[in-house]
């Protein structure tokens, strides 16, 4: 037990001498104390966390919209056909609008 304490003291003294001789104080300070990069990393992690929560909220809203939405009233194929017959289609829409106006 005493040998363990003596060995620990010897190791501590040797480490202090090595640190002093090789001027490792700055390196030790950099490793142990918080620095600018640590602060920036912490801020980045907070920002990423907030963005993750925001994305989750948006995904929930999109899911609700998809649930409540209906399929298109007119398909792409029907639209293509209608566009080829656009004059008749426009007249048909115009007539429908007039009919709706009369119903009011």
Task: Tell me the whole-structure pTM to 2 decimals.
Answer: 0.43
Domain count for the chain, please give it. Answer: 1
Q: Is residue 28 a part of any domain in this protein?
A: yes
In 3D, which of 13, 38, 34, 16 has the Cα closest to residue 25?
16
Q: Is residue 12 a part of any domain in this protein?
A: yes
The total number of residues written for the chain in this structure: 104
d(CA 29, CA 35): 10
Q: Is residue 58 a part of any domain in this protein?
A: no
Asked whether the beta carbons of 6 and 12 are under 8 A apart, the reply is no
Q: Over the stretch 13-67, which tens digit does the pLDDT of each residue have?
A: 888 888 777 777 777 777 788 889 899 999 999 999 999 999 999 999 999 998 8
Q: Is residue 97 a part of any domain in this protein?
A: no
Report which of residues 102 and 19 the model is more confident about.
Answer: 102
d(CA 84, CA 104): 32
Q: Is residue 21 a part of any domain in this protein?
A: yes
Q: Is residue 81 a part of any domain in this protein?
A: no
Domain carrying residue 23: 1-38
Q: Is residue 23 a part of any domain in this protein?
A: yes
d(CA 47, CA 93): 50
């Amino acid at each position: 037990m005493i040998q363990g304490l003596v060995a620990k003291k010897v190791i501590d003294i040797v480490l202090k001498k090595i640190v002093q001789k090789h001027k490792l104080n700055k390196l030790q300070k950099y490793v142990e104390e918080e620095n600018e990069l640590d602060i920036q990393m912490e801020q980045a992690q907070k920002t990423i966390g907030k963005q993750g929560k925001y994305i989750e909220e948006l995904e929930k809203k999109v899911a609700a919209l998809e649930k409540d939405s209906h399929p298109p009233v007119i398909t792409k194929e029907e639209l293509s056909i209608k566009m080829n017959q656009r004059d008749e289609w426009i007249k048909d829409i115009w007539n429908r609008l007039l009919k709706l106006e009369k119903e009011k």
